[in-house]
Amino acid sequence: MRIYASRVSILSGSGYHLRSIPGPLARAMVDGGTATVKASEGRVRMVELSHAATTHAERIGPPTGTATGVTPFHRWVHVGTSRIVEHHPRCLYPMPLLPED
C-alpha cells in the first residue's frame, strides 16, 4: 500500500504540471484508472493522467483561445436586465466518498 503526500501534483501525459490535489483524491484517481503513479521513493508526490480529458470530458463551451486552451466551468448568461451563472454539470456533482486511511 502506497502512502500519498498531503498534496499531490497532477501531470499531463506530456509531463506538464496541471495542478495539485489532495492525496486521497489522487489515490482515488489511481484506483479508478484515471491516473498512474510516477516513479517515486517514499510518499507519492506526483501522478500522471492516463489519457487526455478530450477523450471523455464534455465541454460546456468553446475553448477560450488562450495559450493554455482552458474551458471555464461556468459562464455568465444574460436574462433580461440581470445575469445568472450557468455551471457545468460536473461542477455540481457531490464529492465522492473516499476511503479513510
From residue 64, how far is each of 25, 73, 77, 85, 90 by CA, in Å? 27, 11, 16, 17, 19
Using DSSP, state whether 76 is helix, strand or coil: strand
Q: What is the pLDDT of residue 11?
A: 87
Distance CA 95, CA 21 (A): 13
Distance CA 1, CA 37 (A): 12
Q: What is the pLDDT of residue 38?
A: 86
Q: What is the pLDDT of residue 72?
A: 63
Q: What is the pLDDT of residue 58?
A: 64
Q: What does pLDDT average to in each consecutive run of 10 residues of the chain (101 residues)?
A: 87 83 89 85 86 64 58 76 78 57 49
Q: What is the pTM of this model?
A: 0.53
Using DSSP, state whether 20 is helix, strand or coil: strand
